[in-house]
Amino acid sequence: MTKIVILTGAGISAESGIETFRAEDGLWAKHRVEDVVTPEGYQRDPKRVLDFYNERRAQAASVEPNAAHFALARLEAEHDGEVVVITQNVDDLHERGGTQALYHMHGALSGALCAVCHHRWPAPMQMAIEDPCPSCETPATRPDIVWFGEMPYEMDTLFDHLTQADIFVAIGTSGNVYPAAGFVAEARKAGAHTIEFNLEKSAVGNQFAEHRIGPASQTVTDWVNNILAT
């Protein structure tokens, strides 16, 4: 039975109305990376960081999963083998689309983390720096999100999945951010067939055996229909 490991990035949520990072009018055109997605930026100006994520939490709650999210959930339910989705996205559109075997390697907007004792709890829609940690009571609340220089979640488990993959697929990710950008190399080394779904070849596009160019809502749905029909 074929094991399929799928890495998703901001591009899969773009057609739901969530901005990507590196598009011309994306998040990095409006915010400086070092201000909003680094531990140092949070130390300098926590309110700026919490406002950035409060806005993104509200945006994510106002949109719906698209055909690509639903197609991956259908693949998991109907494929005669294991399907694992690893997302770099912090929205909950995969969950709301029905995917169950899911890893949020860069954390989730739905989580809060204490910057002092590292206790984790469900995030309120609007997070404030004065919010006390429910465990140590320090007012040091932050989003449970992986910033530059921090270790993504569950890396050992993710590498295990990659080394067992028969097919590795990357959808809507620019291949600029590691370790996720290195997953194609890991999966290839382990013998997986590799397919990239994107509007264009990514920064690591040359490492994929196959490319499906176009909007994920169409290309991913076609691919899933095809796999389930064979």
Residues annotated as part of the active site: 106
d(CA 105, CA 12): 15
Beta carbon of residue 137, minimum distance to ligand BJW (angstroms, whole number): 27
Which residue among 116, 177, 185, 228 contacts ligand BJW (CB under 6 A)? Answer: 177
Rg of the chain over CA atoms, in angstroms? Answer: 18
Q: Is 9 in the site for ligand BJW (CB under 6 A)?
A: yes
Residue whose C-beta lies closest to ligand BJW: 11
Q: Is 11 in the site for ligand BJW (CB under 6 A)?
A: yes
Task: Find out whether 38 and 148 touch, Cβ atoms under 8 Å.
Answer: yes
d(CA 66, CA 8): 13
Q: Is 37 in the site for ligand BJW (CB under 6 A)?
A: yes
Q: Is 173 in the site for ligand BJW (CB under 6 A)?
A: yes
The secondary structure element, H or E, covering residue 7 is strand 4-8
Beta carbon of residue 78, minimum distance to ligand BJW (angstroms, whole number): 22
Q: Is 207 in the site for ligand BJW (CB under 6 A)?
A: no
Which residue among 48, 199, 205, 212 contacts ligand BJW (CB under 6 A)? Answer: 199
Q: Is 208 in the site for ligand BJW (CB under 6 A)?
A: no
Q: Closer to ligand BJW at the Cβ: 88 or 207? A: 88
Task: Find out whether 207 and 180 touch, Cβ atoms under 8 Å.
Answer: no
d(CA 32, CA 21): 11
By C-alpha distance, which of 80, 87, 89 is closest to 102?
A: 87
3-state secondary structure 128-180: CCCCCCCCCCCCCEEEEECCCCCCCCCHHHHHHHHHHCCEEEEECCCCCCCCH
Q: Is 198 in the site for ligand BJW (CB under 6 A)?
A: yes
Beta carbon of residue 80, minimum distance to ligand BJW (angstroms, whole number): 26
* Residue 153: Cβ-neighbour burial (10 angstroms; 0-12, 13-18, 19+): middle
Q: Is 71 in the site for ligand BJW (CB under 6 A)?
A: no
State the residue for tokens 């004065």: 130
Q: Is 110 in the site for ligand BJW (CB under 6 A)?
A: no
Which residue among 151, 156, 191, 230 contacts ligand BJW (CB under 6 A)? Answer: 151
Q: Contact positions toward ligand BJW, by CB under 6 A?
A: 9-11, 14-15, 20-22, 26, 37, 88, 90, 106, 145-152, 155, 172-174, 176-179, 197-200, 202, 215-216
